[in-house]
Copies of this chain bind each other. A is one copy, B any other.
C-alpha cells in the first residue's frame, strides 16, 4: 500500500506538503513543488487513506440512517435519494434495519456512533428516545418524521395528519363515500399515529381501524378481515403504499372490483403505486426534498436549537379511487 510518505519521498518533499497539495491547504504550496507532488501521486497511483484522515480530522464524512425496513420502497427511495445527495459531496451512507424492534434500533444507533458517523438519520419506531443517545454523543440527530415537541432532535416531515385528512376527505367529499375503514401500522408506531388522527377527523370518528405491520402482507391480511364480511366498508385507507398494495390484492382475491366495490388509498407515493393494478391513489411524500433538507441540516453547524422542517405533500388521484 502506497502512503503519503512514499509520495513525499518520490517528490522530494515532506509529507506535510503532500497533504497541503491534496487538501488545497491550509498552507500554500509553490507551483513547482505542487507539480512534483502531483506527478508523484500519479506515478505511484497513490490514494489517501480516508480512515486515517478521519481519525485525525474528526469527521468521517459518513452518515448513518436507521430505518425499520430498508426493503420498504419508500425507505429505499429515501435512502437512494440520500445516498445520491451525500455522494455528490463525498459523504457515504450507512443504512441499518431496526426490523421493528426498539432494541435493535437502539443497538444500531450505538454501532453507528461507534463507527463515528457525523450524524444519524432516523425513522424511529417509537418516540425517538435513542435520539438523546445521539445528542449525548454530540452528533446531529435528524428524525425523518414527526417528533413530539420536546425532542432535541431536528426533524423533517410532512404534515401526516393533514395529508391523511386530505386524502380521506377526498373520498368523502368528491366520491361520496362515507364508510371508510383504515389499516394502520402496529399499535404505537410513531409514523402511523398521526395518519390515524387525520383519518379519524375526516371520517368524523366513524369507521373501523385494524393494526397491521407496514408490509404488503400486513395490508393483505388486514383487508381480508375488513372485506370478507357483508358489512364491509366502501373504502379502505392504508397507512402506507405497501399495505395499500396488499389491499388491492385482497380485493382481487375476493373478487371485489376496485374502485367500484371498494375504493383504496395509500400513503407515501412510491413508484410502485403508479403501476399497481389498478393504479393507486395516494399521498406523495417529497423524498428527494426530504433528503436534500436532511443534508442541508447536517452540513450547517448546528445551533443549540433543533431545526424543524415541514415539507408540502400532494395527492396523486388515480384509478383506485376513480381517478378524480
Binding site for B on A (CB under 8 A): 1, 47-52, 54-55, 60, 69-71, 73, 76-77, 79-80, 83-84, 87, 92-97, 110-111, 113-116, 138, 216-217, 220, 245-246, 248-249, 252, 271-272, 274-279
Contacts and interface: CB of A to CB of B under 8 A. Distances in A.
A94 B97 contact: no
A94 B84 CA distance: 13
Main secondary structure of the interface of A (DSSP, over half): helix
A80 B97 contact: yes
A54 B116 CA distance: 12
Given A51-B54, A55-B55, A71-B77, A83 B97 contact: yes
A60 B71 contact: no
Contacts of A55: 49, 51-52, 55
Closest 5 CB pairs of A and B: A277-B277, A249-B275, A252-B277, A71-B76, A216-B275
A87 B278 CA distance: 39
A252 B272 contact: no
Select the residue from A48, A55, A274, A276 with max chain B CB neighbours within 10 A.
Answer: A276
